[in-house]
Structure 1
Amino acid sequence: MLKRLILWLFAFILSVILIISIYTGITYWRASSGLPEWNGTLTAEGLDGPVEIIRAEHGIPYIEATTERDLYFAQGFVHAQDRFWQMDLTRRTSQGRLSEWLGSITLSADRSARWFDWSDHAERSWEAIPENEKMLLEAYAAGVNHWLEGPLYRRPPEMKILHVHPEPWQPQDAFLITYQIFLQVAGGGPELIRATISGAEADSAIYDFLDSSDQPIRPIIEEPDASQILQATMPVKERSFSNSWTLSGEHTASGLPLMANDPQLAQTLPGTWQLQHHQVGDRTAAGGTMPGLPGIVVGHNGSISWGATTASIDLGDLALLEVHPDDPDRYRRSPDAPWESFIQRVDTIRVRFGADQVDTIRATPSGRIRPQRPGVTPFTSRTDVVEEFRGVPFDQLGGFPLTPLRIMHAKTVEEGITASEALTFPAMNISLADTAGSIGYVTAARIPQRPERHARFVDVVPIDDNQWSYLPFEQNPRIINPGSGRIVTANQRIIGDNYPHYLSDSWALPWRTLRIHEVLDQHETHSIDTFRKMQQDALSPVARDLVPLLLNTETENAADAALVDTLQAWDYRFRLDTAAPTIFLTWTEMLSRRLIADELANLPSSWRDRRYLSLIRALNGERPDWCDDQSTETVETCAELVRSALTDTRQALEEAFGNDPEDWAWGTTHRMKLPHLGFAGLPFLDNLFSREVAMPGGPESLFLNAVSLQEAPHFPRAAYNSGYQGIYDLSNLKGSLFMTGGGSSGHFKSPYYNNLTEMWVRGERIKLNPEQRKSTYTLVLEPVPGTR
């Protein structure tokens, strides 16, 4: 009997394994099929004329149309054909509908999106735009849906695996795409950081360690003598940032402007960007597009070029509202004000494989009430208050999708600045140059106007209040043809003390800005080749400042001394063939663990990650008290911590890679993961859809590689990279250079899924020039006969 039971159990287990294997094999086979068809002829209702979609040798689309409406119809078709999974995932993320597909693991993300109520915001933004721009967004959506409903439709492999189907694309979905860009790049002010620290009951010393400090910088709009000023600098790059530099013709070999731009977002698969070339009649444009949005987001239009970096402006505030002691649904704005009722919205999230979740979201005319434990806020011991958050998106309608449409028609820097007024949020630094020789800059956003104290600190209303107004766009910082002949934006302070309005207390680290100026100063005149070398510059200014402080120590033994010798001979460049970057970053992380851990309390370890400026301030004598471990009676010195951390470093490297330093080369220890959008981190699927690459560049290098140190001495993750690179030569815009990571296709089996990554890493570039392309595929969209 027992033997039969064992045999039956064995047969059952074997059957289950067999069924799972068959199901997995079939699913993989189905997911692997359905590569897009890029050749042929297709009819489409509503076109004004034929449209050619030509794919060059790297899979990059060139779209040639007779009208602007046809161009965006074809662009919608192309984006859907190549990246519909990415588009639909991003749309659902903004709608707060991921749990309909993925279950309860995405409930937190859905709740956040529902709190912002992006879907309603998109509808209101859509209703407010001019009819001519509605027509273009409708054309783009019609192109997406023509692919979804037509003979070339192929269900994306991710949807096959999840057993889900797409929904039609709506014109207002373009706004939903841009909200995710806003969330990637928008940073809060220091009050949010202080709130998190207080809520974790961390040591008070951590405030100084994690908060802003004054650092010298050259602002975007420079002082008349190009001198440095102080800026409130955050100790780590928390959000996606970017580089851009523009020179007037007096500093270039051609005599006309040059511009370089690399927006720095996380490099995923598929990536944020798709390179495209557009032509409508004799008008051309080329650059980076974002699937889900019509137009060229950064690039050139044959007359001007434009680049974008994050402006780091504080676009959100917190204030505390007093809640009625007997009725939590009412509040007041001052002790003598009447009690008012919260605006309440009941929201239901559908959850796959689970019960629906019902949330109540409270708001006031001034903002939203942040979810929190009843009666608990880190800003005060009072239990009768709630946190009211006000952000620009709660007041302003979306304008991001309109900006590329308007800037496409600009022929001068002045017209480009005017077109940038459409961008309400996120706040961006827009640099421009035109073929007539002008260069310019504008801060593009609706900038809140409020007392500085309200922006910097949190208190109970009315001591602190969220009652704002907004600056007229004409008062946003801007400059045309500066006397220096250069414009450098790297998320630094925008303008000096002569500007009367508060912008931010959270500017980015100064190293990239100062490095750009340093390299620009090395040549009297620049060319597209010198700009290209600058974009691939792998020298880390962080290492250049921090390594000498680390080396100012006595070693315990010869093995530790060998590591010091390696760093002493290093030129601070993060090349793939040297062990120095691995030693430096591992030493930095080991020191950080010893120096900061005792102050972190309940804060996540990620708050310790990449705090290079804080380490420098501790080691250069500015804050040596940070080196003392508060959990012991002994007073530790920085020298002791550095020495112990070096030994920790050597032991960690030997345990992970062996005793031979040649096996510690950066190209070995840093295999950067390019995570898949949606499946990263999931068993089996992650390996199937994600990729990895040996990545040069390091902390704050111009070829940015914002590596996470938390898994040292392994470095598989980077927060941000120079994922799009453009160099625009205003003397010959056809000769402009472009590159992205990833590839044009979002299908994991396509040869164009990740074909650009190795080229990107090697520093190669592509010209988007129809006269020099090698056409590989051609798809023609024809009007339905008799409908023109």
Structure 2
Amino acid sequence: MKTFKKLLFGFLLISLLVIATASTWLYSKVDSALPILDGKKTVFGLKKSAIIERDEQGIATIKAQNRNDIAVALGFVHAQERFFQMDLLRRNSAGELASLFGPLALDYDKSIRRHRFRDRAKVIVAQLPKKQHELIKAYTRGVNQGLKYLNSSPFEYLLLQQEPVQWSEEDSILTIFSMYIDLQYHDGRRERTLGLMKAVLSGDVYAFLDPKGSIWDAAIDNSHYPQAPMPLNAWPSASSFNAIPKDNRYIKATALADSNENKYQGDHLPGSNSWAVSGALSTTGSAIIANDMHLGIRVPNTWFRASFEYPQSQTDNSKAVGSNTVIEQIKVTGATLPGTPNMVIGSNGNIAWGFTNSYGDYSDVILLTTNADNSQYLTPSGFQDFILHKQVIAIKDQKAQEITVTDTIWGPVIGKNHQGQLLAYRWVAHDKEAINFTATELEQAKTVERAFDIAARTGIPSQNMLIADNNGDIGWTIMGPIPNKKGNIGETPQSWDSGENSWQGYLTPEQYPQIKNPENQRLWTANSRVVGGDMVEKLGNGGYALGARSQQIRNNLLIQEKFDEQALLKIGLDDEAVFLQRWQQFILETVLTKKVLAQEENFVQVKNLLENTDELRASVDSVAYRLVRNFRINLRDNVFFELKSSLHNIDKAFNFKAIRHQIEVPLWQLINEQPENYMMLGENSWQDVFTKALELTVADMSINQPLTAATWGQQNSSAIKHPLSSALPLLDHWLDMPTKALAGDSYMPRVQGNAFGASERMVVSPGYEENGIFHMPTSQAGHPWSPYYGMGHSDWEHGVPSPFLPGKTYYKLTLLSY
């Protein structure tokens, strides 16, 4: 027995020693991956020394003697703070995630490889202008030097048992391609969805479900388009769709219940809000701009805050004073995207600029006419062979897979339609015009007109761009390539084999739509249609958002005559549910009839909640908001359930989410007019549809709690996580941001979901940056042991004004040239 105890004691002692040794080794590895904040380091690629100062939150001020040295230093900082994030961005667009994560990412990689973005990135790098090529080369050198100076690989690679791969010049192009994937459709899903609807529905029904306008339109040129009338005949034909039988209610109820977790996440789409007032309305005399870009939010955040200080090149507008040449000092502050050398949004003292996603039509699905064995396809010059490309996908812990990508003169083959016809995809992202670094010229621009010129020559996913300058001028234009389309090219797939339909290159800068200093001295964009007439004809419709956000921002701007930065921030934090007010009245007046209240006793509580809510807001303590919001979603899903299911049965590519915003218009018409000729209602009467949607809403909100405890904040609690935390639950406390009830939602200025929303909030008046405001979720840091990990996140959560400019220097690192 004593021998056994001694053996057991020895075993435990050895085990503890092994655990302690492993823990010490692990701690050392993770700790060694922290960025260098102070001291001096010699860096290859610098022409002269560069200084990196960080404030308490890690916001970097980079000082150098030329722009390329700024790029070296920025690359160094990005690699030290965010290399794993950068790696995910390049792998995301290259279709190389499976080499990190294994088979889980294989299907995604296959879907992306059809675009051959790595091959395209190499072509783009090779044709960049010399100055831009030197910039990206300098940035790449900085990234690899920053990675080298880490004493250990970023901790994520330790957890994945991988080694980081050095950065290359084309990887910065791939980073921007990832933004194309986020901000535009890479698979043509919206056009394919509309194409199916147009093919199987009658013309009046299709027009009704694809409205061109609504009461929510808020274009800055005050243009309006009508919504289509209700179809007069019975629609659609249930027999032609193989619809779900009306007596099979169990299938429908089960499907609706199973989708509860996802359906309540909201109608979020990558986009943004931006608004500006001219100097005539500002307290500074300079124009003021506000911008918050809406993206998925995770740890670390998409953006990295920085300020650049460098002398203007002597070849660029240097001023002669007497016999001396005065070289102007450039100082530009804002947000950068790790993986690229640009200042994405910001202010340089003369102009400030921000973006919202344009949602113009920057792609087209093409119907291919093929020969009998599908080996050739018809073009204006006759039948041609398909172009085949071999792609090898590396898979972690498995043998690599080889796939074949099929291409045409217009773009890759992306599948078949419901009739088995092959489809090709024409997309801006496939052309050399898609990406360049012309946007860096904004750092030295001084006027709205100069920014207009830069915007029209820039290669990024096309954005609504608002500009404010210190002369008091404001302007809107599109930044990014706009295809010059010829023929009958609209929102649905078309044949291009006759030559009548085509792209004729891209619009020239002189052809770009622009608006400067409108009569009301105000501008706003929020992903909905911005302009009408000839200007919108140039842009097309790639899936504009409903105009509810735009309209609420516009109305908030119009009720005030003088603005400072705080006033513009207040507009961005507005969580009033203007969009849902009519839905609140609909429940009270149409759903909660005396007959229904007599039959459903628990609905009396619903009535009291809604009647006692004076102002419907997406506040964290509001039960009424959650109830109205979720009722609308349940009712929408119920009304269109059989139509969606039938269309999906015809073609699995049908994607209701791609058209969900436009569906609000016909939905509201249907529930108010309650036509008898809608043949896919799925219930015995419209009142049954309303009652069941409310029953489901109340039941979902009352799970394990009284209805009065089901607040909006309970449902809309943040879930801002590191990409690896779900696989490492023991580390989520250190990696993820704390869970917090958040105000805001989809159809209001304060856009906010569990892990979606304002990836930054910026308010700034050029020349008065010291009064500017900047919020950013998570923090600058990518390493959980960083002294500023999570700093600034609370200001973003609560909407507390925090400074636009970096603060007092806490850390200083000098990079020396060889």
Secondary structure of residue in 1 paired with 2:126: helix
Distance in 1 between the 2:70 and 2:406 partners? 43
What corresponds to 1:115 in structure 2?
114
After TM superposition, give the deviation of residue 164 of structure 1 in Å: 0.9
Gaps of 5+ in 1: 1-13, 708-716
Local SS of the residue matching 1:408: helix
Distance 1:619 1:441, change over 3 A: closer
Go from structure 1 to structure 2 and tell me whether the alpha carbon gap of 1:491 and 1:27 turns closer, same or farther (over 3 Å shift).
farther
Residues 402-481 of structure 1: matches in 2 within 5 Å?
A: 402-451=437-486, 453-462=488-497, 467-469=502-504, 470-481=506-517
**What residue number does 2:3 align with?**
none
| CA shift for structure 1 position 308 | 0.9
Alignment of 1:353-392 (within 5 A): 353-370=397-414, 372=415, 376-378=416-418, 381=419, 383=420, 385-392=421-428
- Give the match for residue 346 of structure 1: 390
Unaligned runs of 5+ in 2: 1-11, 229-262, 312-328
Query: RMSD of the TM alignment (CA)?
Result: 3.4
Q: Which amino acid aligns with 1:108?
A: D
- Is 2:134 the counterpart of 1:135? yes
Which of 592, 598, 612 is the equivalent residue of 1:569? 612
CA contact (8 A) 1:57 1:776 kept: yes
Q: Which amino acid aligns with 2:271?
A: F
Instruction: Write the letter of the residue equivalent to 1:268.
Output: R
Instruction: Identify if the C-alpha distance between structure 1 residues 220 and 173 changes in structure 2 by more than 3 Å, giving closer, same or farther.
Output: farther
Contact 1:256 1:435 in 2 (8 A): yes
Q: Tell me, yes or no, if structure 1 residue 725 matches structure 2 residue 771.
A: no
Question: Against the structure 1 CA distance between its residues 631 and 433, is the aligned structure 2 distance closer, same or farther, given a 3 Å change threshold?
Answer: closer
Output the CA distance in 2 between the equivalents of 1:176 and 1:340: 30
Map 1:395-406 → 2, pairs under 5 A = 395-400=431-436, 402-406=437-441
Give how far 1:29 is off: 4.4
| 2:573 alignment counterpart | 536
Alpha-carbon distance change, 462 to 22 in structure 1, aligned in 2, over 3 angstroms:
farther
Deviates more, 1:77-86 or 1:603-612: 603-612
Once residues 350 and 568 of structure 2 are traced to their aligned partners in structure 1, the CA distance between those partners, rounded to angstroms, is 20
Change (3 A) 1:48 1:735: farther
Aligned to 1:546: 583
* TM-score, scaled relative to structure 2: 0.82
Q: How many percent of aligned residue pairs carry the same amino acid? A: 25
- The residue aligned with 1:781 is 815
The answer as to whether partners of 1:346 and 1:358 remain within 8 angstroms in 2 is yes
Q: Please tell me whether residue 518 in structure 1 is matched to residue 555 in structure 2.
A: yes
Secondary structure class of the residue paired with 1:548:
helix
Equivalent AA in structure 2 for residue 136 of structure 1: L
User: Can you list the C-alpha shifts for 1:461-506, whole angstroms capped at 9, x where unaligned?
Assistant: 4368652113223211012222221221112223222448442233
- CA distance in 2 between counterparts of 1:23 and 1:204 reads 72
Structure 2 Cα separation of the partners of residues 412 and 423 of structure 1 = 17
Q: Which stretch shows the higher mean deviation, 180-189 or 242-251?
A: 180-189
Q: Tell me which residue corresponds to 1:291.
A: 338
1:659 and 1:646 mapped to 2: Cα distance?
16
Residue 635 of structure 1, aligned match among 684, 695, 709: 684
Moved more, 26-35 or 113-122: 26-35
Maintained 8 Å contact 1:269/1:690 = yes
Name the stretch that deviates more: 66-75 or 528-537: 66-75
Partner Cα separation in structure 2 for residue 646 and residue 339 of structure 1 = 57
Q: What is aligned with 1:173?
A: 171
Deviations 1:729-767 (A, max 9, x none): 135123221111110011234353333222101112332
Query: Conserved in 1, the CA contact under 8 Å of 2:769 and 2:804?
Result: no
Structure 1 position 271, deviation (Å):
1.3
Answering whether residue 375 of structure 2 is matched by residue 329 of structure 1, we say yes
- Superposed displacement of residue 423, structure 1: 2.3
- Aligned 8 A contact 2:192 2:493 in 1: no
> Given the alignment of the two structures, is residue 672 of structure 1 paired with residue 707 of structure 2, yes or no?
no
- When residues 610 and 441 of structure 1 are mapped into structure 2, their CA distance, relative to the original with a 3 A threshold, is closer
Q: 2:801 aligns with which of 753, 765, 774?
A: 765
CA contact (8 A) 1:217 1:229 kept: no
Residues 528 and 550 of structure 2 are in contact (CA less than 8 Å); yes or no, is this contact kept in structure 1?
Answer: yes
Report the Cα distance in structure 1 between the residues aligned to 2:561 and 2:609, rounded to whole angstroms: 34
Task: Tell me the CA shift for residue 547 of structure 1.
Answer: 1.7
Counterpart among 507, 510, 527 of residue 491 in structure 1: 527
Residues 1:462 and 1:611: Cα distance change in structure 2 (over 3 Å):
closer
Q: 1:314 to 1:22 in 2, by over 3 A?
A: farther
SS in structure 1 at match of 2:461: coil
Tell me how far apart the structure 2 counterparts of residues 167 and 213 of structure 1 sit (CA, whole Å): 48
Kept in 2, the 8 Å contact 1:86–1:677? The answer is: no
Shifted more, 669-678 versus 187-196: the winner is 187-196
- 2:268·2:746 contact (CA, 8 Å) conserved in 1? no
Q: Displacement of 1:769 after TM fit?
A: 3.2
Report the secondary structure of 1:727's partner residue: strand
Q: 1:315 corresponds to which residue?
A: 362
Structure 1 residue 86 displacement after superposition: 0.2
Contact kept in structure 1, 2:280 and 2:472, CA below 8 Å = no
CA separation in 1, counterparts of 2:724 and 2:487?
40
Letter in 2 for 1:565: N
SS at match of 2:490: helix
Aligned residues: 733
Which digits, 9 at most, give the CA deviation of each residue in 1:604-663, with x for residues without a partner?
99847995764564355566349978385x6311x332233223222222224x1261x3
Mean alpha-carbon deviation: is it higher for 750-759 or for 35-44? Answer: 750-759
Shift of 1:227: 5.9
Q: Aligned to 2:576, what secondary structure does the other structure show?
A: coil
Alignment counterpart, residue 297 of structure 2, candidates 267, 290, 303: 267
Please show how residues 641-656 of structure 1 align to structure 2 within 5 Å. 641-656=689-704
The whole-number CA distance in structure 1 between the counterparts of 2:609 and 2:357 is 36
3-state DSSP of counterpart to 2:114:
helix
Alpha carbons of structure 1 residues 320 and 46: separation in structure 2 relative to 1, 3 Å: closer
How many angstroms apart in 2 are the aligned matches of 1:197 and 1:747? Answer: 48
